A and B are shown apart, each in its own frame.
Chain A
C-alpha cells in the first residue's frame, strides 16, 4: 500500500533507525481512544509497549552504511557528516528525513520538503504518546487530561459502569454546581450534556 510521507515515522535509537507508520508507533488518536473510553483497559505498561514495539520493528545500524544502503522501503545515504533517508515507493525514491551524526547517535535536522516525515528519538517516544493520549482524551470528552473536571468525569463513568447510577447522577449534578460556582459555562454545558447522555443509556 502506498503511504503518504507524513504517515511515516523514522525512529532513531542511537545509531539504529527503523521506518514505520504513525499507527504502528501508536501515534494516532484512535489507538489511545480505546483506553480513554474504558479505564479498565488502562493497564498498559510503557516498558512492555516499548519492548513490543521495538521487537516488531526492522532496525538498521546506520554505521554499516558506506555510501548507500537499501533496507526494505528505506534507502539510507551517507553524505559528509549526515545521513539522508529516502522512502522508496514504486521504485521512486523521495527524501523524507535527514539526521546529523553526532557523538555516536543520530540527531534529526529539518528538511524543506513537502514529503518529510517525523523523526522521533526513541527516548522521546513516551512524551509523544503522552501528547497523543491527552489529545485522545480531549477528542472523547472535550476536556484535557488533568484537573478536577477530568477526574470527576472519570469517576462518574466508573460509577456508571459499576451500576452505581445514583452516585453517578448525584456526582454529576454536584459537578455541574461546581462548574456554575466557578462561572465556567462551557464546563456546565459539558456536564449537563453528559448527564443527558448517561440518562439516555
Chain B
C-alpha cells in the first residue's frame, strides 16, 4: 500500500513504507561491516530513488483563479492540491501544497506545506506567521524527507545490532543475584532505546564484577565493549 510520501526537496513520490525499509525488516538482519553497510545504504537509496516516479509539486498549477479541480493532481489514492496565494504584505506569492489520501473508507489530509529554500517542503505549524488556524498540523508520520531516510536506516540497524549484543545477557538475566538484576536493567534500557545508559550500566557492572573478583568470564565487559563499538562505528 503506497501510504507514505517521500519528498526530495520539491519532488515527491508515494510509496510503501516496507519497500523503503522504514520499519524493521529482514534487510537489517544481516550483520555487515561498517563500510559494507554504508555501501549497501547508498546502493539501496539509489535503487529506490530510480525505481520510483517523482513529481515536482511546485511545477503543478496552483493559481487560485483556476477552478479547484484544475489545481488537483490525482496519483492513485493520493491527491495533490496546490494553492498559490498572495503574501499578506502584497509582495510575492506563497506557494502551498496539501496531500490528501483516500482509500474509499477514510480520507486523511496532511498538514499544509510551503515552498521553502531549495524548493523544500516546509511544514506550516502554529507559531509560524504563514500558519492558518483552520489547518491541521499533525502529519501522523506520513511524510518523510529523503535526506532523513539514511538516518532512519542507521537507527534501525543500530537497534538490531545493540539488541543482538544485549541478548548475550539473556541467560544471566534469569539469575537472582545482582548480576541478574544488572543484566535485566541493561536489557530494559536497550529496549527503551536508552543505549548510552545501558552501556554505562554494563561498564559499572563490569567494574563490580572485576572488583569482587568473580571467577567466571566477565560477560558485562564483553557487552560493554561490543555496545561501545556498535554506538561508535555501527558494526559488531
Contact = CB atoms under 8 A, between A and B. Distances in A.
Interface of A: 148, 151-152, 155, 159, 166-167, 170-171, 173-178, 180-182
Interface in B11-41: none
Given A167-B181, A167-B185, A170-B185, A177 B203 contact: no
Given A167-B185, A170-B178, A173-B178, A155 B210 contact: no
Interface string B203-216: 11111101110000
Interface stretch (B68-76, B129-137, B146-154, B193-201): B193-201
Contact of B211 (A151, A159, A171, A181): A181
B197 A174 contact: no
A166 B181 contact: yes
Given A152-B204, A155-B197, A177-B208, 13 more contacts: A148-B200, A151-B200, A167-B184, A170-B178, A171-B182, A171-B185, A174-B201, A174-B204, A174-B207, A177-B207, A177-B211, A178-B203, A180-B211
A52 B65 CA distance: 41
Interface in B167-198: 178, 181-182, 184-185, 196-197
Contact of A151 (B184, B197, B205, B212): B197
Nearest to B178: A170
A177 B207 CA distance: 6
A151 B203 CA distance: 12
A177 B201 CA distance: 12
11 contacts: A148-B203, A148-B204, A152-B200, A152-B204, A167-B181, A171-B182, A171-B201, A173-B178, A174-B201, A177-B204, A177-B212
A155 B211 contact: no
A129 B184 CA distance: 37
Q: Is the interface of B mostly helix, strand, loop or mixed?
A: helix
B232 to A, nearest CB: 15
**A-B pairs with the 3 shortest C-beta distances?**
A177-B208, A178-B207, A174-B204
A181 B182 contact: no
A178 B208 contact: yes
A33 B121 CA distance: 40
A157 to B, nearest CB: 12
Nearest to A151: B200
A152 B207 CA distance: 13
B196 A174 contact: no
A114 to B, nearest CB: 44
Contacts of B200: 148, 151-152, 155
Nearest to B201: A171
Given A180-B211, A181-B210, A155 B201 contact: yes
B208 to A, nearest CB: 4
Contacts of A182: 207
Interface string B148-162: 000000000000000
Nearest to B208: A177
